[in-house]
Structure 1
């Protein structure tokens, strides 16, 4: 499967919205919007992101839109995030997409966060060179409770 990144197109947003509303994906991501089904809030969020300094990319697998990847935050504190459609989990797409994103944004350190029980996402980050540096607790909107999360760092 060929994985590539490209700039985000308006036509990608309905796909991202559908992906954001998959119950299993929400549970695994944990730290999600308060109401993922609120399309107005979703559109406003993406409008803000696309007009900011956030590095945003659409993830393509064999030409199909399968997710998104981004780097955001202040220099020295920038974080990576990604979302891959559940139908594509376990195929190496997130790892390939994150590796590609890391070539677009060469600055280091970069950080990432994941629910402590999200072993798939943690493994993607570790394959890309991130190492766990600390743990934290945070309110996971998608789970309706405070949960453990891991913070990982990619150094130069």
Structure 2
């Protein structure tokens, strides 16, 4: 499958909504937003992302299918990457390809990332893209309803 990135279209939002409300995906990601379950809050959040000059957000496509999204957000010097790929596509290298595409588009460094410490798949994606674990923190994981360990990574 060939991965490509493009700006987010209105028609992507229902797909993202479905993807981001998958219970297993949420459990694995752990640090999710409670806004994702409320359609109105979800839509308002995405409208804000799409119009913010501080956010680069792209839809991830493979062979014409919307797989998810990838983005960079935050203040200069503290910018962070995030991504979400539909669970049906996990384990195929598509998240890595999507993140590498975004990193080519956004050359500023450093960039940061965070992942649940037990999310081996996400940590592997980030490390394949050049991110390195620099510290560990604990934080409340909404999707799990408890505090868990989190890895903090940086790409220099």
Distance 2:105 2:72 in 1: 10
- Residue 21 (structure 1) aligned with residue 21 (structure 2): yes
Q: What SS class does the counterpart of residue 124 from structure 1 fall into?
A: helix
Residue 123 (structure 1) aligns with:
124
Residue 12 (structure 1) aligns with:
12
Q: CA deviation at 1:35?
A: 4.8
- 1:7-66 CA-partner distances (Å, limit 9, x unpaired): 100000000000011000000111111253210110110011111120000000111101
Distance 2:36 2:85 in 1: 16
Map 1:4-153; keep pairs closer than 5 Å: 4-52=4-52, 53-153=54-154
Aligned pair count reads 155
Distance 1:148 1:91 in 2: 26
Distance 1:65 1:36 in 2: 18
Distance 1:39 1:108 in 2: 34
Distance 2:49 2:60 in 1: 16
> What is the aligned-residue RMSD (CA, Å)?
0.7
TM-score between the two structures when normalised by the length of structure 2 = 0.98
Unaligned 5+ segments in structure 1 are none
Distance 1:67 1:35 in 2: 17
Q: What SS class does the counterpart of residue 34 from structure 2 fall into?
A: coil
Q: What SS class does the counterpart of residue 37 from structure 2 fall into?
A: coil
- 1:75-100 CA-partner distances (Å, limit 9, x unpaired): 10000000000000000000000000
Q: What SS class does the counterpart of residue 36 from structure 1 fall into?
A: helix
Unaligned 5+ segments in structure 2 are none
Distance 2:33 2:92 in 1: 26
